Every structure is written in C-alpha cells, then in structure tokens.
Structure 1
Amino acid sequence: MITAECIIEIKGLHTRFGDHVVHKDVNLSIYHGEILTLIGGSGSGKTTLLRQMLGLEKPTQGSVKIFGSAPTNLSLQQKSIRSRSGVLFQQGALFSALTVFDNVALPLRELHTLSENMIRDLVMIKLNMVAIEPEHASKMPSALSGGMIKRVALARALALDPELLFLDEPTAGLDPELSESFVELVLTLRSEMDLTIVMVTHDLDTLVALSDRIAVLADQQVVTTGTVAEICRLQHPFTTSFFKSIRHKFDQKDYSEQTWKTAPTLS
C-alpha cells in the first residue's frame, strides 16, 4: 500500500497527431517526495507527456491531474497549480536579453504583489541556494558557463518555492564533474524544500544517482515503473539496450535493492 500523497495522476491518456499515435492508454502516478525519471526511446513521447503534465498541451483523450486538478483548466485554481510548479528546461532557456538577476526575478514580478526590495532579497536568496555568487547577478546569459546557466535556470525554477519540479535533461552538456555537482545540488534542494521531482534524462549516471523510481515509456505506453535495479533487469528491447553498460552491476546476488530516499512507503 502506498501511503504518500499522489501529486500527479495520469489515467487513460491517449495522444494522437493526425494519424500518428504517440500515446495509447498511458497510466502513471507520481507521489510526494519522490524523484521519478521518465525514460524512453526517440519518438516515444517523453517530451509530449512532460508538456501535458505542465498543461502546455492537451491529450486527445484521458486525464492529467496535478494536485488533484487538471493543469489545462484555465482558472484561478490552474494558476495556483502553476505557481506550485517549477521547470528547468533543457539548455536552461534563459532569456538572452535579461540579466541573471532579471531572469530569476521574472516569475516573482509576474505576481504583481511584491515590492522591488522584496524581489531583490528573494532573488539573491535563490541565487545563493544554487551557489551563484552575488557578483554574477548583473551578468548576461552569454557571459555564463554551461554549468552556471543550469544553476541560474534552476534558481528561476525555484523562485516561487514550488512543491513540484520538472527537470528536462538537467545535466545535458555538462562535464562529469559539473554533472556530479549538479546532482548533489538537486538532492540537497529536494531535501531542504520537500520537492517532488519529475525528470527526463538520457544520462545514466544522473539517472542512477537521482531516481527513486523510473517509468519506462515504450510501445506507446508506460510499460512499467520501478527502481533502477528493477528496471535494469526488465526484459524489454529498450531497457536491455539502454542499461547495457551497467546491467551487470545489478546481477550481483549481494546487491541491495535501491529504496525510496523519501516518502512513498511500499508494502
């Protein structure tokens, strides 16, 4: 029995673009406090599913609920859902014409309820949380390294103190040292801010280091969910290929199954 609160619930989801079927009867639940990683081959519909969770696209059929409500329902409740969620887009997606400070300040200013003094204080707090020093606040994105862009984008995603965080290829383009540092930062923030995280990544090191559970999107469905060890042992063409380089590590008899880092209790 799962005792943790269900944060995202997807039921009977179908997605069709003309004659092309992307999803067929997708079902998935994501629980409070976990890091769930969505994996799948090229064209499996990972990005589309992520966009549907964000309310940027509507499925052809079925439902997506976040905090118990549909994210595409344009209402005050839907705006509340978005304020409770943050997104780190692939490559950071910082606004090139805005400084680091103004990129992070943007979601705070859109509230139209905070003074500039309060916004300044909150922005500097968020930058400090992701280890961006104050002297970098006035820089333009073009002056930042790849690792700094990721951290600033993460600060922007966390600007409104969200409960739910979406990470799209968070360590793509980073060297191994920066990638490991970013993973440690995400784990620290997850613990400090009590975050639920949904991630898409192709990076095996990031996946193994961060994932509580993995959902495998293949054959137009979520074919299974489980821990890294469980999914690594799955006999499916995609997972066999995806986990080929590390599969032997999970065949050791004395290997201890990965367990939840927080929240969901299974029995």
Structure 2
Amino acid sequence: MEHSPHIIEIDGLDTRFGHHIVHQDLYLNVEKGEVLTLVGGSGSGKTTLLRQMLGLEQPAKGQVKIFGKSRYNRDFSLPKNIRNRTGVLFQQGALFSALTVYDNIALPLRELRTLDEQVIYDLVMIKLNMVAIEPEHAYKMPANLSGGMIKRVSLARALALDPELLFLDEPTAGLDPELSESFVRLILDMRKELDLTIVMVTHDIDTLVSLSDRIAVLADKKVIATGTLDQVCNHPHPFVESFFKNVKKKFQHTDNRELSWKTGPMPS
C-alpha cells in the first residue's frame, strides 16, 4: 500500500470556547517536504490551529493526524513518538530563563534518557554551529542574548532531536529587516540540509514570500483557500484582497528569491 504524502491531515475540525466558535468544519493537509504558511486576520484561529497540531489543545470535533497517527490517541507512546519527530520555534523564543543556552538545547536530548553527557555536549555544539552561534555563547543566560541570538538559539533547540516536522510561530517577529532576512536564509538552509517539512504562522509578507511553497488562508472559521502565492492572491475574498494588496506587484518582478512559486490547479 502506498503511503500518504500528507505529514499532517486535519479533517472536519471544530473549535469552540464556550459559545464562541473559532473553527467549523475545517480541512487542511500538509505535504511532506513543503513549507505551508497559515495566514488570517485577528481571531481567525491561526495560533489555535497551530497549538492543536502541536497537541497543546484539543478540538471539540474532528481529527488531527500527524505522520498518519491521531494527535489525541490515548496510547501515550504515540504522541510521545510524534513529539520526538517534531520541533517548534515559538514567537518569543520561549527559552527557559533560568537555564543557559547550552542547557536549553540539551534539555530535549536529556529527556530521551538514552544519551550520556559527552554525546549531549557534542550534539549541542553541532546545533549551535548549525545556527551560527559561537561556542563561547553556550553558557550565557537568555537575558544576555540579543533578539536575533534568542531566535537562533530557539531554532537550535527546536532542531535538537533532528525533527522531520518544524513549526514556526512568527519566526521573524521583533527582528529588524537585516536580521529578519538573515534568519530567513538560515531557515532555508536548515530546510534544505535537514529535509524539513515546515508549518509557519506569519504576518510578515517578506517572510511569507521568501519561505512559503503554499499558503493556507483562514477566514470565516475555516480554510477558505490553499495554494501558491499567485493562486491565493486571486481568490475572491475581502480578507485576501486586503492582506495581499500590492503583494504581487511588489514581488512579481523579483528574481532573487530562494524559492519559486509552483504552478498548477488550486488544491481542493
């Protein structure tokens, strides 16, 4: 039997907080090896959907499958296995303030309880090198890091277990344009080197255009459109027209992007 190309499958998802409905009958697939970006207006449920994929929240109805397994299976070993195959970069980095850079990255490795400290040390130094952090910064506290360094250390921690699937929540938020561009290049390098599938939430148009293979637009409590930039920009919806205003004009003649937009029919 041929395996599904979908790393994530979301079927008929409903999300409610009391009487407030966030998602209703929402469907979305994420394909292996792609970068899929979630966009939507305030209150559209982007972060909630991301948290449900991470297993931090459970929907009122519907199914979230990761690697073909339910995110909410009662068998403890299954979600644990999913966690070990995924990494997440939170918006503000979410480094533990009481731990050094080294210990933040070592934490997921130590939780495996199968590696000795010398192996953990070697792996932490490899991850720091991957994100261009010099070894002398390994024993600094997060409070002593710049915003750009916090992002890089957080990415190193997200990649500690060599995940197949990476979640990015506003990865360039709070960075100036030069640092933002540098961080996007780093993510592109990591994607190519590690063969990552990435799900990203971002409001930043430059980041979206530079990284995304496909875009999923959340509005009216569901995913109203998925596709490449060109496909989504042409979707007739007020939010799409507002959010993507002038995007094609800005980027359609740009030749220096790392990724080019795929063409083809709009996915269903």
TM range (shorter): over 0.9
Question: Runs of at least 4 residues of structure 1 off by over 4 A?
Answer: 249-252
**Secondary structure of 2:168's match?**
strand
Equivalent residues in 2 for 1:238-249, closer than 5 Å: 238-249=239-250
Distance change in 2, residues 1:77/1:4 (3 Å) = closer
Q: Does 1:131 align with 2:132?
A: yes
**Secondary structure of 2:224's match?**
strand
Aligned residues between the structures: 255
TM-score normalized with structure 1 length: 0.92
**Secondary structure of 2:88's match?**
strand
Q: Which fold has the larger relative contact order, with Cα–Cα distance below 8 Å and residues 6 or more apart in sequence?
A: 1
Q: Does 1:153 align with 2:154?
A: yes
TM-score normalized with structure 2 length: 0.92
- Which range moved further: 163-172 or 242-251? 242-251
**Which residue of structure 1 aligns with residue 257 of structure 2?**
none
Contact kept, 8 Å, 1:233 with 1:247, in 2: the verdict is no
The two structures, once aligned, show a CA RMSD in angstroms of 1.6
**Secondary structure of 1:167's match?**
strand
Could you list the runs of 5+ residues in structure 2 that have no partner in the other structure?
254-259
**Which residue of structure 1 aligns with residue 51 of structure 2?**
51
**Which residue of structure 2 aligns with residue 10 of structure 1?**
10
**Aligned mates of 1:149, 1:28 — CA distance in 2:** 31
Contact kept, 8 Å, 1:232 with 1:250, in 2: the verdict is no
- Which range moved further: 74-83 or 143-152? 74-83
Q: Does 1:63 align with 2:60?
A: no
- Look up the equivalent residue of 2:26 and give its one-letter code: V
Q: Does 1:166 align with 2:167?
A: yes
What's the CA shift string for 1:177-220, capped at 9, x where partnerless? 11111111111111110100000000000000000000000000
Percent identity among equivalent residues?
70
**Which residue of structure 2 aligns with residue 76 of structure 1?**
77
Q: Does 1:259 align with 2:266?
A: no
Contact kept, 8 Å, 1:229 with 1:250, in 2: the verdict is no
Q: Does 1:32 align with 2:32?
A: yes
Q: Structure 1 residue 245: deviation in Å?
A: 3.4
**Aligned mates of 2:154, 2:78 — CA distance in 1:** 25
- Look up the equivalent residue of 1:47 and give its one-letter code: T
Equivalent residues in 2 for 1:189-200, closer than 5 Å: 189-200=190-201
**Which residue of structure 1 aligns with residue 224 of structure 2?**
223
Q: Structure 1 residue 18: deviation in Å?
A: 1.0
